[in-house]
């Protein structure tokens, strides 16, 4: 059936109205049951999946990665063994423990439906959920709240601004833990690079940030301390508990663009990610069993290490699901392998799964969205390309 | 064309308030012409919006002052709460709040003009003169008129003769209240002798030291006192005689004017009442020391903290040769080769930074409360310079450690909220050929749009002009 855009829109609106009526009844019936909870963590800057869910058993992994390869399980700083020849980065002990309890799974090679290597464009696509570039009007997580009736799910963004993924018609709240720039924030380092020929600005900013740091150490016991990802997780969890607590949360972690010095940077970033999840788990307490945490990034990084101890912009990366509501199971999607002829464009981990397929599986089975809504409203035109995955939760 | 493209970027960022998208390209055909074309006899553009005139504001101000009288008599001697006094106190507070909110709207109107104007040079020129002849909301009474002062005393005169500008400024209620002139009375005047009133030298001193010839302009304390005597009677209306005020809210009160002939800096001035002070002020405005001092200040504001002497000399020659015609001085600034040096030596003031960021991102003034907070944090609270000297004007004043951290925090918040698709295009349209390779590639390689925009806003090319 081919419809003009106008007809098509009218058709979609009509079907959506019908669906939300159907939902109204169900919501009322379920009013006393606490809602499930979904936390989407966006790792901005392109997280290196090959260092997160480590394919140590792949015969090409160690050679391609060289000094960046995570050591075999059992050796010093070795990967934390999972199954299927994969291990987790050694900084991810919380996620490893969750895996042991059947509360963590991962997709080893997901990607967006479009091949772009611009962070900006790719983050738009990841958050908007469509296939067109530079659609910045709304995000799929907000449309999911709308599709669920607009009232049932309460959205919350963590950070000074609402990220695109949660922008849209459904009102959402926001919270930021201080939000101040710190001395060792990535932006501070990048600015010092810009200021090499401007000593006034360079020295002034360095001194100012150092002072802020001392001031922050001195007082303010109640606020989330610097680099205290676990406390951040607990603070977010507090905002999610109780009858007015949020159900749908979006949170960004910056600093994954590891073109140089990747090993040390990832150690820091992944430790932060792991502690954040630990904080969410302990903070959510009994609600943890109703929770799914999704960790996704805009694209992966090159399979080979580059000349500066880092990796460049690639294609597929891994996606992690964690939480008490996650159903135990193996890999989500296939492993494409790292043989030369399997690499995308001869350089990147090849995608085996459209990332939207995972999002849709979680939204349907965890938040109760209808498949038709997912295929048309939340992820328009995704029915064929990104078929909802069963059995994730 | 390449040279012109670079000069277009210099024109819009150094002489203007920063580039709006496409502005540098539009100016590239004739960067000097762009600035010269903004020199208009009618002065700098006025902010739009429901602006209140000085006369209207005076009504509100006098009503506010009247609401305070009788307060003490109303208070019961036993200390028991007096409902009448309490109601009066609340009315007074409400009147004061209404005035403050009104001036805050005036500030926002000015910000909006800054964000939208295509006459960035005229706007910067007007802001320069408002600062050279500072009044400040740090003092509430003057603060009640800060916005109307800019609109009525400053903007219409910035491309006219300096003596007309300075006279309009000194006789505006904002200045008369800020520097305590409104209450200064001659001890030998009719009312002064009867009620034992006295001189206040504040305005006279700042007129000499800050508004005209400068501290080393060759005057002494006797000149200050003589000028203060001549200025007695320059005042604002009272509730009961407000019909006496001219349109700008100025009243001359002969009953407190000190009689006699005055001598200031070697010249004597006959007893002509109101005209006596005006004649002295006009002579001070025409004094060579004034031309010298303000020429240097213009060059230091637009080009470099320690400005090239050749530029100062050009401005001074234009000033002297035209009897202080500020249009000629502005022309000289635009035409001076030193103005176009590639080196961007000046750090933007917080106001220039915030407005230029808004222009670069093509945004209207969002959330006025945040704007106010940001300017306070960066050290430039709206309409409230710290002293009659006005806002400081060197890199060391604005780029201190804490101020830069505050700029960074604001930049990050602003970058995070900006709705922008192509950050590389935004950077290019904001800085044009002034953008260096380091900044260009940092923006292009940033890991997210907010990061890219933060880097742009905090880059040396954007912080400087």
Close Cβ partners of A134 (under 8 Å, ≥ 6 residues apart): A121, A124, B421, B422
Q: Is A205–B405 a contact, with Cβ atoms under 8 angstroms apart? A: yes
pLDDT value at residue B367? 67
A308 touches chain B (CB under 8 A): no
A248-264: pLDDT as tens digits: 999 999 889 998 889 99
3-class DSSP state of B432? helix
Nearest-neighbour CA in chain B from A360: distance (Å): 25
- Judgement on whether residues B226 and B260 belong to the same structural domain of the protein: yes
With CB atoms and an 8 Å threshold, state whether B446 touches A119: yes
Provide residues of B within 8 Å CB-CB of chain A: 347, 395, 399-405, 408-409, 412-413, 416-417, 419, 421-423, 438-439, 442, 445-452, 454-455, 458-460, 463-464
Rg (CA), chain B: 24
Tell me how long chain A is: 393
B258 & B195 share domain: yes
Mutate which of B373, B447, B458 to disrupt the A interface (most A C-beta within 10 Å)? B447
Distance between CA atoms of residues A338 and B360, nearest Å: 45
Which of A46, A194, A205 lies nearest to residue B442, judging by beta carbons? A194
Residue A207, burial from CB neighbour count under 10 angstroms (0-12, 13-18, 19+): middle
DSSP tag of B290: H
- Helix or strand holding residue B443 (H, E): helix B437-445
Any domain includes A221: no
Answer whether residue B434 is part of any domain: yes
| Nearest-angstrom CA–CA distance, B365 and B321 | 41
pLDDT over 70, % of chain B: 95
pLDDT of the residue at B308: 97
Instruction: Burial-class residue A135 by CB neighbours within 10 Å (0-12, 13-18, 19+).
Output: middle
Main-chain dihedrals φ then ψ at residue B77, nearest 5 degrees: -65, -35
Contact state of A136 with B421 under an 8 Å Cβ cutoff: yes
Residue at a domain's end among B155, B176, B197? B176
Give me the residue from B403, B423, B458 closest to A191, CB to CB: B458
Determine, yes or no, domain membership for B303: no
Q: Is A157 exposed, middle or buried (0-12, 13-18, 19+ CB in 10 A)?
A: buried
* Set of chain A residues whose Cβ sits within 8 Å of the Cβ of B442: 190, 193-194
- Residue B224 within a domain: yes
A106 within a domain of the structure (yes/no): yes
Q: For residue A26, tell me if it sits in a domain.
A: no
Structure tokens at B99: 């005035």
Helix (H, G, I), strand (E, B) or coil at A84: coil
- Do B261 and B365 lie in one domain? The reply is no
Same domain, B145 and B104: yes
Whether the CB-CB separation of A210 and A226 falls below 8 Å is answered with no
What is the CB neighbour count within 10 angstroms for residue A245? 18
Place of tokens 């695109």: A164
Q: Is A132 in CB contact (< 8 Å) with chain B?
A: no
CATH value at residue A71: 3.40.720
**Interface with B, mutate which of A123, A133, A191 (most B CBs under 10 A):** A191
Q: What's the predicted TM-score (pTM) here?
A: 0.80
Do B451 and A159 make contact, defined as CB atoms within 8 angstroms?
Answer: no
Residues of chain A with pLDDT under 70: 1-33, 160-161, 177-179, 214-226
A58: nearest Cα among A268, A392, A332, A350: A350
| The pLDDT value given to residue B366 | 65
Residue B332 located in a structural domain? no
Those of residues 65-104 in A touching chain B at CB distance below 8 A are none
How many domains are there within chain B? 3
Residue B345: predicted pLDDT: 95
Q: Which domain holds residue B247?
A: 179-286
Q: How many CB atoms lie within 10 A of CB A244?
A: 8
Instruction: Give the pLDDT confidence score for residue A40 in this predicted structure.
Output: 98
Residues in B touching A314 (Cβ below 8 Å): none
Count: domains in chain A: 1
Contact residues for A44 (Cβ-Cβ < 8 A; gap 6+): A119, A123, A252, A253, A254, A255, A256, A297, A298, B447, B448
Same domain membership, residue B100 and residue B188: no
Using CA atoms, how far apart are residues A241 and A376, in angstroms rounded to an integer?
A: 31
Residue A131 belongs to a domain = yes
Characterise A323 by phi-psi region: left (phi > 0), alpha (psi -120 to 50), beta (else).
Answer: left
Helices H, strands E: what count in chain B? 26, 4
- Enumerate residues 6+ apart whose C-beta is below 8 A from B122: B38, B39, B40, B44, B45, B158, B159
pLDDT of res. A178: 59
pLDDT at A62: 96
Same domain, B165 and B193: no
Q: What is the pLDDT of residues B331-359, one digit of tens each?
A: 999 999 999 999 999 999 999 999 999 99
> Is A190 within 8 Å of B442 when comparing Cβ atoms?
yes
Smallest Cβ–Cβ distance between B423 and the set A120, A194, A209 belongs to: A120
Which residue is closest to B419 within chain A, CA to CA? A136
Per-residue pLDDT, B2: 63
List the structure tokens of B229.
């005597």
Are A209 and A202 a contacting pair, CB within 8 Å? no
pLDDT of residue A30: 43
Provide the residue-wise pLDDT of chain B in tens; the chain has 465 residues. Answer: 567 999 999 999 999 999 999 999 999 999 999 999 999 999 999 998 778 899 999 999 999 988 865 445 444 455 566 778 888 888 888 999 999 999 999 999 999 999 999 999 999 999 999 999 999 998 899 999 999 999 999 999 999 999 999 999 999 999 999 998 998 999 999 998 898 888 989 999 999 999 999 988 999 999 999 999 999 999 999 988 888 878 779 999 999 999 999 999 999 999 999 999 999 999 999 999 999 999 999 999 999 999 999 999 999 999 999 999 999 999 999 999 999 999 999 999 999 999 999 999 998 766 677 788 889 888 899 999 988 989 989 887 898 888 898 899 999 989 988 888 899 999 999 999 999 999 999 999 999 999 999 999 999 999 999
- Residue contact B455–A198, C-beta within 8 A: no
Domain membership of residue B419 (yes or no) is yes
B379 φ/ψ sector (left φ>0, alpha ψ -120 to 50, else beta): left
B120 lies in the same domain as B220? no
Distance (Å) of CA B412 to CA A166, A181, A313, B94: 19, 8, 24, 36
CA distances from B146 to A272, B65, B120, B193, B206 (A): 50, 17, 21, 33, 18
Q: What is the pLDDT of residues A57-95, one digit of tens each?
A: 999 999 999 999 999 999 999 999 999 999 999 999 999
**pLDDT at position A10, please?**
29
Nearest to B404 among A123, A193, A205 (CB): A205
**A338-351 core/surface letters (b: 16 or more CB in 10 A; e: else):** beeeebbeebbbbb
Same domain, B184 and B170: no
Cα B82 versus chain centre, distance: 43
pLDDT tens-digit profile of A182-209?
Answer: 777 889 999 999 999 999 999 989 888 8
What sections of A289-387 are H helices per DSSP?
Answer: 355-367, 371-373
CB A124 within 8 A of CB A133: yes
- pLDDT at site A20: 31
Q: Which domain holds residue A133?
A: 34-178+244-378
Chain B residue closest in CA terms to A209: B405
Q: Please list every residue in chain B whose beta carbon sits closer than 8 Å to the beta carbon of residue A180.
A: 409
């Amino acid at each position: 059936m081919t419809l003009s855009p106008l007809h098509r829109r009218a058709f979609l609106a009509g079907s959506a109205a019908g669906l939300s009526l159907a939902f109204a009844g169900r919501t009322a019936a379920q009013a006393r049951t606490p809602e499930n909870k979904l936390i989407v963590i966006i790792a901005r800057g392109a997280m290196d999946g090959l260092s997160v869910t480590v394919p140590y058993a792949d015969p090409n992994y160690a050679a391609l990665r060289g000094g960046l390869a995570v050591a075999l399980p059992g050796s010093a700083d070795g990967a934390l063994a999972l199954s299927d020849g994969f291990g987790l980065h050694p900084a991810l002990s919380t996620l490893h423990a969750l895996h042991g309890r059947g509360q963590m799974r991962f997709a080893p090679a997901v990607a967006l439906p479009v091949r772009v290597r611009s962070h900006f464009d790719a983050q738009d696509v990841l958050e908007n959920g469509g296939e067109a570039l530079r659609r910045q009007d709304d995000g799929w997580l907000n449309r999911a709240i709308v599709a669920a009736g607009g009232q049932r799910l309460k959205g919350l963004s963590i950070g000074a601004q609402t990220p695109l993924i949660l922008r849209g018609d459904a009102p959402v709240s926001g919270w930021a833990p201080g939000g101040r720039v710190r001395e060792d924030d990535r932006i501070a380092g990048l600015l010092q690079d810009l200021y090499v020929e401007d000593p006034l600005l360079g020295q002034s900013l360095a001194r100012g940030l150092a002072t802020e740091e001392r001031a922050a150490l001195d007082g303010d016991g109640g606020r989330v301390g610097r680099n205290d990802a676990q406390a951040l997780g607990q603070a977010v969890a507090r905002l999610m508990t109780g009858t007015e607590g949020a159900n749908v949360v979006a949170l960004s972690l910056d600093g994954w663009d590891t073109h140089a010095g990747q090993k040390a940077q990832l150690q820091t970033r992944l430790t932060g990610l792991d502690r954040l999840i630990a904080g969410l788990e302990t903070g959510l307490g009994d609600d943890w069993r109703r929770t799914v945490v999704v960790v996704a990034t805009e694209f992966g990084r090159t399979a080979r290490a580059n000349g500066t101890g880092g990796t460049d912009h690639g294609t597929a990366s891994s996606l992690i699901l964690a939480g008490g509501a996650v159903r135990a199971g193996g890999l989500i999607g296939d492993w494409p392998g790292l043989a030369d002829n399997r690499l995308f464009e001869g350089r990147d981990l090849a995608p085996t799964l459209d990332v939207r397929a995972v999002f849709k599986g979680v939204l349907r089975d965890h938040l109760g969205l209808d498949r038709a809504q997912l295929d048309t409203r939340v992820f328009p035109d995704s029915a064929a390309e990104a078929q909802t995955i069963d059995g994730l939760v | 064309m390449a040279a012109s493209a670079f000069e277009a970027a210099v024109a819009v960022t150094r002489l203007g308030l920063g580039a709006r998208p496409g502005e540098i390209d539009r100016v590239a055909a004739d960067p000097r012409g762009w600035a010269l074309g903004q020199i208009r006899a009618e002065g700098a553009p006025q902010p739009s919006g429901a602006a209140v005139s000085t006369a209207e504001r005076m009504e509100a101000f006098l009503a506010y002052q009247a609401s305070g009288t009788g307060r003490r008599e109303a208070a019961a001697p036993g200390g028991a709460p007096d409902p009448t006094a309490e109601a009066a106190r609340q009315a007074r507070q409400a009147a004061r709040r209404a005035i403050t909110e009104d001036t805050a709207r005036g500030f926002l109107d000015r910000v909006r003009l800054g964000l939208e104007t295509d006459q960035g040079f005229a706007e910067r020129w007007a802001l320069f003169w408002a600062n050279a002849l500072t009044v400040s909301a740090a003092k509430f009474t003057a603060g009640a008129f800060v916005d109307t002062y800019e609109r009525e005393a400053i903007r219409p005169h910035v491309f006219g003769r300096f003596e007309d500008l300075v006279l309009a400024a000194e006789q505006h209620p904002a200045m008369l209240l800020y520097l305590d002139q409104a209450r200064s009375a001659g001890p030998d005047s009719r009312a002064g002798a009867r009620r034992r009133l006295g001189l206040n030298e504040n305005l006279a001193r700042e007129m000499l030291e800050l508004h005209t010839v400068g501290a080393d302009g060759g005057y002494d304390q006797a000149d200050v006192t003589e000028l203060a005597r001549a200025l007695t009677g320059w005042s604002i209306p009272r509730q009961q005689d407000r019909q006496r005020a001219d349109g700008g809210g100025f009243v001359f009160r002969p009953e407190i004017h000190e009689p006699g002939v005055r001598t200031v800096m070697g010249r004597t001035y006959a007893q002509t009442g109101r005209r006596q002070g005006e004649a002295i002020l006009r002579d001070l405005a025409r004094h060579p020391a004034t031309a010298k001092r303000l020429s240097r200040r213009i060059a230091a504001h637009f080009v470099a903290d320690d400005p090239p002497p050749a530029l100062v000399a050009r401005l001074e020659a234009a000033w002297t040769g035209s009897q202080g015609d500020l249009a000629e001085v502005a022309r000289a600034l635009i035409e001076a080769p030193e103005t176009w040096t590639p080196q961007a030596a000046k750090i933007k003031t917080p106001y220039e930074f915030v407005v230029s960021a808004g222009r670069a991102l093509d945004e209207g003034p969002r959330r006025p409360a945040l704007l106010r907070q940001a300017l306070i944090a960066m050290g430039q609270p709206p309409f409230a310079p710290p002293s009659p000297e006005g806002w400081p004007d060197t890199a060391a004043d604005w780029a201190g450690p804490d101020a830069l951290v505050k700029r960074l925090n604001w930049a990050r918040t602003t970058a995070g909220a900006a709705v922008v698709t192509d950050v590389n295009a935004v950077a290019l349209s904001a800085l044009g050929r002034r953008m260096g390779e380091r900044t260009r590639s940092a923006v292009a390689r940033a890991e997210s749009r907010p990061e890219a925009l933060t880097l742009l806003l905090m880059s040396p090319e954007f912080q400087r002009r």
